[in-house]
Amino acid sequence: MRQATSVIFFCLIMAVAGLAQAHRTSVYAYVEGGWIKGEGYMPGGGKVSNQPVQLLDAGGKVLAETKTAQDGSFSLPVPNGQPPFQLVLNAGAGHRATFDLKPADFGVPEKPAAAQKPAPAAKQAPMAGVSAPELCVLVQQAVEKSLAPMRAQLAEMTARSEKASLKDIIGGLGWIAGLLGLAAYLKARKMAKGAR
């Protein structure tokens, strides 16, 4: 009985393994809040669970390592050093998948313009534990955050100034009509006096 069970188990494992063989594996990731978040999966459906993921620098040096969770997901802190990086998911026997993380994924321009003057912030030593690309993202977020209300205000001001100009025109017309009316009234009074 026990033997039969193990045979069935063995067959089941083989079947599952065979199924996995027919699939390809794939990996992808994005950068969010100082973390590289990703997923290992199989095209057409299915997640790649409990498999090693490595983060390599441009020279192929391993910077960090982790494993995919049951749902295929994984995350790694953004490393020190300059992108590009490469993620390698190694799910064994011909199931190696890679994903390139480009400088743009970290908010770093592909080719930093040489003519660009360094921002004052860049002159300061980066904060301890914050990598350059991370800092770049943080600065971008901060600038965006502080700009948002200004943008809104600017848009509102533009809208209001357009409205105000219309009001001005109507107001101006009102003034003209009013003054003409007053002049006519005064003239009429003078004429009436003269007639008397």
Binding site for another protein (CB under 8 A): 24, 26, 28, 30, 39, 41, 43-45, 100
Residue 105 has what DSSP assignment?
G
Q: Alpha-carbon distance 35 to 79, whole Å?
A: 9
CB 75 within 8 A of CB 37: yes
Alpha carbon separation from 147 to 83, 106, 139 (Å, rounded): 27, 20, 12
CB-nearer residue toward another protein: 10 or 30: 30
CB-nearer residue toward another protein: 97 or 136: 97
Question: How far apart are CB 78 and another protein at their closest, in Å?
Answer: 17
> Which candidate, 40, 140, 32, 27, places its Cα nearest to that of 78?
32
CB-nearer residue toward another protein: 24 or 187: 24
CB-nearer residue toward another protein: 26 or 54: 26
Question: How far apart are CB 136 and another protein at their closest, in Å?
Answer: 19
Question: How far apart are CB 35 and another protein at their closest, in Å?
Answer: 15
Q: Please list the residues that pair with 88 across neighbouring strands.
A: 54, 98
